[in-house]
């Protein structure tokens, strides 16, 4: 990340126990050369003092809409115009509800309405509050109206519950904002494959695998945030993606290949995240197969096309990033696949570890090129995706 564009960043803190993490967030922005000012709501000040944020940001904290002195120093409209980026972290359920109504009865609400800055929200709340349909509706409305959503993460909550609702860690918030500011893949067209494929045996049965599609969707989101035009070709998964992404739903490996091939001519980068079924049934029965046979029943399988290696062979000038999930000899197999599939990079993870991989929200990987190896410590798939996408930008000629 060499060419970081320096920006004016307004960090808005609302009432949540996660408010203490905003100190690290402000510190991260400052450390990377950004100018930071802070707005705190009344309830945020119950969790952390303005003095702390003043010391870290180097500016008086903005707290009130109707304070004459504050308005004389830098009024809410001036502050709204000053900001290139506004990050609300943590963003409480109450603030989400007020923002979705367009309320302007406090400093934060007024600034958000008045500002043309790029806006991010990092929600933090109890998991039941997060999954409540009213919150879901509000979040949907905000994220379809120029608010970039970061998180929330899943895990232990301060109240003792476990689930989605934890504020994303400051590093993830920082990286998500940074990748949007850098736009390092602007002008690039990227294809991402995700999820499993489904190979039908008869009208009701199929061969598939445990892939959740989470890593592929995270890669697609990170690529779109960094300015790329993203086509996400996905097998059957229960995930949604942002409007920035052009999504193509497929079932079989053949369909995934056909859709990829159509787009590949004009694409720059192919990211193969899909867990493509290695085999398909030679024959697909048109009727449901009956249990009338004896103890054994044979299905003849044939190999599916290897999508990524076939495309890498046909389009040698383009960049190919593959993924591999292994249960043993991870490095050896990864390096083998890097060469045999004609890839530029391969991201390898050890799925014998139960806390990472397939259905997990976390991953820990090594990335190999022909010359190098780089380790990425365990983190959420969305943070990891941002870091992997950064490897494809112009500032990353190498993976050092």
Under rule CB under 6 A, residue 218 binds ligand C5P? no
> Rounded to the nearest whole angstrom, what is the least distance from the CB of residue 21 to ligand C5P in the complex?
35
> Is 272 annotated as belonging to a binding site?
yes
- 12 in catalytic set: no
Under rule CB under 6 A, residue 253 binds ligand C5P? yes
Q: Could you give the CA distance from residue 229 to residue 189 in angstroms, rounded to a whole number?
A: 5
> Rounded to the nearest whole angstrom, what is the least distance from the CB of residue 354 to ligand C5P in the complex?
19
Query: At a CB cut-off of 8 Å and minimum separation 6, what does 181 contact?
Result: 4, 5, 7, 85, 118
| Closer residue to ligand C5P (CB): 137 or 262 | 262
Chain Cα centroid distance, residue 269: 18
From candidates 337, 367, 386, 389, binder to ligand C5P by CB under 6 A: 337
Under rule CB under 6 A, residue 308 binds ligand C5P? yes
Question: DSSP letters of 41-63?
Answer: -TTGGGTS-HHHHHHHHSSPPB-
- The interface mask with ligand C5P, positions 188-207, x = CB under 6 A, is -----x--------------
* Preceding peptide of 350 cis, ω within 30°: no
Strand partners of residue 147: 119
Under rule CB under 6 A, residue 237 binds ligand C5P? no
> Is 116 annotated as belonging to a binding site?
no
Under rule CB under 6 A, residue 304 binds ligand C5P? yes
> Rounded to the nearest whole angstrom, what is the least distance from the CB of residue 92 to ligand C5P in the complex?
39
Residue of 91, 159, 241, 324 with catalytic role: 159
Q: Where are the beta strands (DSSP E) in the chain?
A: 8-13, 35-40, 85-91, 118-123, 147-149, 153-156, 162-166, 189-194, 199-202, 205-207, 229-234, 245-249, 269-272, 279-281, 301-303, 319-326, 345-350, 362-368, 373-380
Pick the stretch among 74-82, 176-184, 233-241, 306-314 that binds ligand C5P (CB under 6 A): 306-314
> By the 8 A CB rule, do 297 and 201 touch?
no
Long-range pairs of 19-24 with CB within 8 A, sequence gap ≥ 24: 19/44, 19/47, 19/48, 19/90, 20/47, 20/48, 21/89, 21/90, 21/167, 21/169, 21/170, 22/48, 22/53, 22/89, 22/90, 22/170, 23/48, 23/52, 23/53, 23/56, 24/170
Under rule CB under 6 A, residue 322 binds ligand C5P? yes
Pick the stretch among 11-19, 79-87, 266-274, 370-378 that binds ligand C5P (CB under 6 A): 266-274
Pick the stretch among 79-87, 166-174, 279-287, 303-311 that binds ligand C5P (CB under 6 A): 303-311
> Is 341 annotated as belonging to a binding site?
yes
| Closer residue to ligand C5P (CB): 26 or 312 | 312
Under rule CB under 6 A, residue 235 binds ligand C5P? no
From candidates 324, 356, 388, 389, binder to ligand C5P by CB under 6 A: 324
> Is 218 annotated as belonging to a binding site?
no
Which secondary structure element, helix H or strand E, spans residue 111, and what is its range? helix 107-114
Pick the stretch among 143-151, 318-326, 350-358, 380-388 that binds ligand C5P (CB under 6 A): 318-326
DSSP label at residue 275: B
Query: At a CB cut-off of 8 Å and minimum separation 6, what does 10 contact?
Result: 36, 37, 38, 39, 79, 82, 83, 85, 86, 87, 111, 115, 117
> Is 288 annotated as belonging to a binding site?
yes
From candidates 274, 383, 384, 388, binder to ligand C5P by CB under 6 A: 274
Q: Could you give the CA distance from residue 249 to residue 233 in angstroms, rounded to a whole number?
A: 6
> Is 12 annotated as belonging to a binding site?
no
| Closer residue to ligand C5P (CB): 88 or 241 | 241
> Rounded to the nearest whole angstrom, what is the least distance from the CB of residue 275 to ligand C5P in the complex?
7
Under rule CB under 6 A, residue 36 binds ligand C5P? no
> By the 8 A CB rule, do 254 and 239 touch?
no
Write out the residues near ligand C5P by the rule CB under 6 A. 193, 253, 272-274, 276, 304, 306-308, 322-324, 337
Q: List residues forming the annotated binding site for CTP.
A: 272-274, 278, 288, 323, 337, 341
Q: List residues forming the annotated binding site.
A: 272-274, 278, 288, 323, 337, 341
Which residues does the annotation mark as catalytic?
Answer: 159
């Amino acid at each position: 990340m060499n060419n970081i564009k320096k920006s004016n960043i307004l960090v808005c803190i609302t009432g949540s126990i996660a408010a203490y993490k905003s100190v690290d967030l402000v510190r991260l922005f400052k450390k990377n050369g950004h100018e930071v000012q802070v707005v705190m709501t009344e309830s945020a000040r119950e969790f952390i003092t303005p003095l702390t944020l003043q010391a870290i940001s180097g500016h008086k904290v903005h707290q009130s809409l109707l304070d004459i002195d504050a308005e004389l120093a830098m009024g809410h409209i001036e502050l709204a115009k000053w900001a290139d980026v506004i990050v609300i972290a943590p963003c409480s359920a109450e603030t989400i509800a007020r923002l979705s109504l367009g309320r302007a009865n406090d400093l934060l609400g007024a600034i958000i309405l008045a500002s043309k800055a790029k806006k991010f929200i990092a929600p933090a709340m109890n998991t039941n509050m997060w999954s409540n349909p009213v919150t879901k509706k509000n979040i949907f409305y905000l994220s379809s109206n120029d608010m970039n959503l970061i998180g929330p993460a899943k895990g232990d909550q301060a109240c003792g519950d476990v689930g989605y609702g934890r504020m994303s860690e400051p590093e993830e918030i920082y990286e998500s904002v940074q990748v949007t500011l850098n736009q390092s893949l602007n002008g690039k067209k990227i294809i991402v494959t995700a999820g499993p494929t489904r190979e039908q045996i008869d009208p009701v049965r199929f061969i598939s695998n445990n892939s959740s599609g989470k890593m592929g969707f995270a890669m697609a989101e990170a690529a779109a945030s960094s300015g790329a035009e993203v086509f996400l070709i996905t097998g059957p998964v229960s995930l949604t993606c942002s409007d920035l992404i052009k999504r193509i739903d497929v079932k079989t490996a053949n369909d995934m290949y056909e859709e990829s091939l159509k787009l590949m001519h004009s694409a720059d980068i192919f990211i193969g995240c899909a867990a493509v079924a290695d085999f398909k049934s030679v024959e697909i029965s048109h009727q449901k197969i009956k249990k009338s046979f004896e103890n054994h029943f044979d299905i003849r399988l044939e190999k599916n096309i290897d999508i990524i290696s076939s495309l890498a062979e046909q389009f040698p000038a383009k960049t190919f990033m593959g993924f591999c999930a292994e249960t043993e000899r991870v490095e050896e197999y990864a390096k083998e696949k890097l060469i045999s599939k004609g890839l530029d990079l391969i991201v390898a993870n050890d799925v014998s570890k139960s806390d990472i991989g397939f259905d997990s929200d976390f991953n820990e990987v090594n990335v190999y090129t022909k010359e190098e190896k780089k380790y990425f410590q365990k983190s959420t798939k969305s943070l990891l995706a941002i870091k992997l996408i950064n490897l494809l930008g112009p500032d990353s000629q190498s993976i050092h």
